[in-house]
Amino acid sequence: MANSPSGDSVLDRLVRILDAFDAGTPSLTVSALARRADVPRASAYRLVEELLRHGLLAREGGEVRLGLRLWELANRASSTLDLRRVAMPFMEDVNQVVRQNTQLAVLHDDEVLVLERLSRPGSVANQAYVAGRMPVHLTSMGLALLAFSPAPALEGYLERHGERMRSAHPDLRRELAHIRRTGYASLEGFIDTDTTGVSVPVLDRRGHALAVLAVVVPRGSNLLRPAVMALRTAARGISRGLGEIPPD
Amino acid sequence: MANSPSGDSVLDRLVRILDAFDAGTPSLTVSALARRADVPRASAYRLVEELLRHGLLAREGGEVRLGLRLWELANRASSTLDLRRVAMPFMEDVNQVVRQNTQLAVLHDDEVLVLERLSRPGSVANQAYVAGRMPVHLTSMGLALLAFSPAPALEGYLERHGERMRSAHPDLRRELAHIRRTGYASLEGFIDTDTTGVSVPVLDRRGHALAVLAVVVPRGSNLLRPAVMALRTAARGISRGLGEIPPD
């Protein structure tokens, strides 16, 4: 609908415009936005005007940024809202007990999407940001989500990303079986090598991961085993809060 | 751009479609969505198809709901992200110490927009939801935000909503002056009359409210004064964390 001569629709352009902003680039001039979003300048100016009028973008100095109205529309009926609401008190418990950054994530479009993160002063470094994406094959979150995916989803993922996966995990099948058996995944930090991520799935009644709960601990720390216990306890509480009783 | 015969643009329709979902109506059939969004059925079907393709909507059974991609785009560069990130540890502290629901809100489009809420098992009832809106004149959050607004913003608000405001607060100017002097607003719950809301502004360096931090306590509770102290302490911490030193 409403296609431009180049064949992309208003919606295609809108998505590219919203996608041009991220945590490192929260605001842009309209020209820079047009370049980043690959939208002709004149169209970008018209579209930005309309987005400003609807509050989906907001002016900030000579630049524009995402508007609060967009945040409101996207958040108030989000499918993540229930999960986040149920998970938050349990995440706070883990955060209090383990005293390290605690995060909640899901598998989305073959990547790990971070839904929530509670940080602590003095926690070790951590590259996860709310609404940020992380690679499946380089995070304990990704491995735990994959290990507890339904078989067709796992096979589909491996078909699309098998090579990358196997280069990081030559013995992947055995590794995933181990994660399923022990109920958690741990992996040394891939950006900050001084840290280890520990992840436990939040299971549904069929034993598949709805989400993953993770903490990042200092590498070689004796916190790892206690953190697993805290995460497993909290993850079961979240499952129960969602009305799912995970199998033993 | 791309106007339909009725004169509304694709973007107008898109916003009405996203606006049709809320916490009480997280999913809809396409027909119901078309009705609620006031978009002709055929257009609605086409637009929904395109939104599904972009992940801005997702299928759920025979209905559609907001997609995780929309959540991701709206959250990762949101102007609320910094405020939320800085505020969260302080909100957890208040939540631990006061042991009642704790929330963070801003003034947006003449309403109170709730950015974050931490709840506690056993807390009193509370009508605030994340990304939900509440009326300014019936909440302690609204009164605190208004009392610490820049003068032109306050006058503008009163011009637009003076009548409604004065019916609930006949002596509003004196009430706002009192809030400015004491540094907090308290108000009995407007839906649940057994509760009292207590709100303290998060101030910028000019003494204007960037946001408001609030708890809901049982009505008549002796928690009110201690809650104010906890909120004021936490609100100063948030200001400092944002690089704003509020005036004394």
Q: What confidence tens digit (pLDDT) does each residue in A174-191 have?
A: 999 999 999 999 998 776
Contact A85 B1 (CB under 8 A): no
- CA A42 to each of CA A8, A47, B4, B12, B220: distance values in angstroms, whole numbers, following the listed order: 15, 9, 21, 20, 60
Per DSSP, the residues of A57-76 read EEEETTEEEE-HHHHHHHHH
Give the Cα separation of B183 and A180 in Å (integer): 54
A24 and A108 belong to one structural domain:
no
The minimum CA-CA distance between A246 and chain B, rounded to whole Å, is 22
Q: Which residue is associated with the tokens 């009705």?
A: B35
* Contact by Cβ (8 Å): A203, A246: yes
Name the residue in chain A with its Cα closest to that of B101.
Answer: A89
The minimum CA-CA distance between A170 and chain B, rounded to whole Å, is 32
Name the residue in chain A with its Cα closest to that of B19.
Answer: A73
Structural domain contains residue A62 = yes
Give the Cα separation of A149 and A147 in Å (integer): 6
Residue B38: both structure tokens together: 């006031």
A23 and A89 belong to one structural domain:
no
Structural domain contains residue A57 = yes
Give the best residue of B3, B11, B114 to mutate against chain A (max A CB count within 10 A). B11
A157 and A182 belong to one structural domain:
yes
CB-CB neighbours of B134 under 10 Å: 20
Give the Cα separation of B5 and A1 in Å (integer): 14
Residue B140 confidence (pLDDT): 96
Q: In A, which residues are within 8 Å of B129 by CB distance?
A: 76
Contact B72 A18 (CB under 8 A): no
**Residue A200 falls in which region: left (phi positive, over 0), alpha (psi -120 to 50) or beta:** beta
Across A11-40, average pLDDT:
94
> Which among B109, B118, B131 has CB closest to A76?
B131
CATH for B131: 3.30.450.40
Q: Which of B40, B55, B74 is the last residue of a domain?
A: B74
> Which among A26, A46, A77 has CB closest to B22?
A77
Q: Which of A18, A43, A74 is the last residue of a domain?
A: A74
Contact A79 B26 (CB under 8 A): yes
Across A52-56, average pLDDT:
94
Minimal CA–CA distance to B57: which of B41, B73, B69?
A: B69
A120 and A24 belong to one structural domain:
no
Residue A16 confidence (pLDDT): 95
Structural domain contains residue A247 = no
Give the best residue of A75, A108, A130, A145 to mutate against chain B (max B CB count within 10 A). A75
> Which among B11, B56, B71 has CB closest to A75?
B71
Element spanning B133, H or E: strand B133-134
pLDDT in tens, A121-177: 666 666 667 788 899 999 999 999 999 999 999 999 999 998 888 888 999 999 999
Domain range for A91 is: 78-241
A91 and A179 belong to one structural domain:
yes
Q: Within 13 Å of residue B171, how many CA atoms lie on the same side as its CB? A: 5
The minimum CA-CA distance between B70 and chain A, rounded to whole Å, is 6
Give the best residue of A18, A86, A126 to mutate against chain B (max B CB count within 10 A). A18
Give the best residue of A11, A27, A46 to mutate against chain B (max B CB count within 10 A). A11
B199 and B88 belong to one structural domain:
yes
Contact B1 A80 (CB under 8 A): no
Cα-based angle A47, A52, A57 (whole degrees, multiple of 5): 95
| Segments of chain B with pLDDT less than 70 | 1-6, 120-128, 191, 248
A90 and A156 belong to one structural domain:
yes
B92 and B68 belong to one structural domain:
no
Counted domains in chain A: 2
A146 and A52 belong to one structural domain:
no
Q: Which of A36, A53, A74 is the last residue of a domain?
A: A74
* Contact by Cβ (8 Å): B16, B37: yes
A115 and A36 belong to one structural domain:
no
> Which among A25, A50, A80 has CB closest to B1?
A50
**Residue A243 falls in which region: left (phi positive, over 0), alpha (psi -120 to 50) or beta:** left
pLDDT classification of A1: cutoffs 50, 70, 90: very low
Minimal CA–CA distance to A77: which of B127, B132, B102?
A: B132
CATH for A57: 1.10.10.10
* Contact by Cβ (8 Å): B51, B17: yes
Give the Cα separation of B68 and B57 in Å (integer): 8
Kindly tell me if the per-residue pLDDT of A192 is higher than 70: yes
Contact B78 A66 (CB under 8 A): yes
Overall size of chain B counted in residues: 248
Residue B208 confidence (pLDDT): 96
> Which among A9, A71, A77 has CB closest to B21?
A77
Residue A152: both structure tokens together: 């067709």
Return the percentage of chain A with pLDDT > 90, whole number: 60
Residues 6+ apart with CB under 8 A from A87: A104, A116, A202, A211, A213, A238, A241
Kindly tell me if the per-residue pLDDT of A233 is higher than 80: yes
Helix axes A172-182, A151-168, angle to 10 degrees: 120
Structural domain contains residue A1 = no
Residue A99 confidence (pLDDT): 85
Quote ipTM for the complex: 0.85
Contact A66 B47 (CB under 8 A): no
CB pairs A-B closer than 8 Å: 180
* Contact by Cβ (8 Å): B200, B232: yes
Q: Within 13 Å of residue A38, how many CA atoms lie on the same side as its CB? A: 7
* Contact by Cβ (8 Å): B108, A68: yes
Give the Cα separation of B97 and A5 in Å (integer): 60
Kindly tell me if the per-residue pLDDT of A4 is higher than 80: no
> Which among A56, A68, A95 has CB closest to B108?
A68
A42 and A124 belong to one structural domain:
no
Name the residue in chain A with its Cα closest to that of B44.
Answer: A1
B86 and B122 belong to one structural domain:
yes
Give the Cα separation of A67 and B191 in Å (integer): 29
Give the Cα separation of A77 and A66 in Å (integer): 18
Contact A76 B14 (CB under 8 A): no
* Contact by Cβ (8 Å): B192, B145: no
* Contact by Cβ (8 Å): A48, A62: no
Name the residue in chain A with its Cα closest to that of B25.
Answer: A77
Helix axes B10-19, A10-19, angle to 10 degrees: 60
The minimum CA-CA distance between B47 and chain A, rounded to whole Å, is 8
Contact A77 B113 (CB under 8 A): no
Minimal CA–CA distance to B237: which of B131, B91, B95, B133?
A: B91
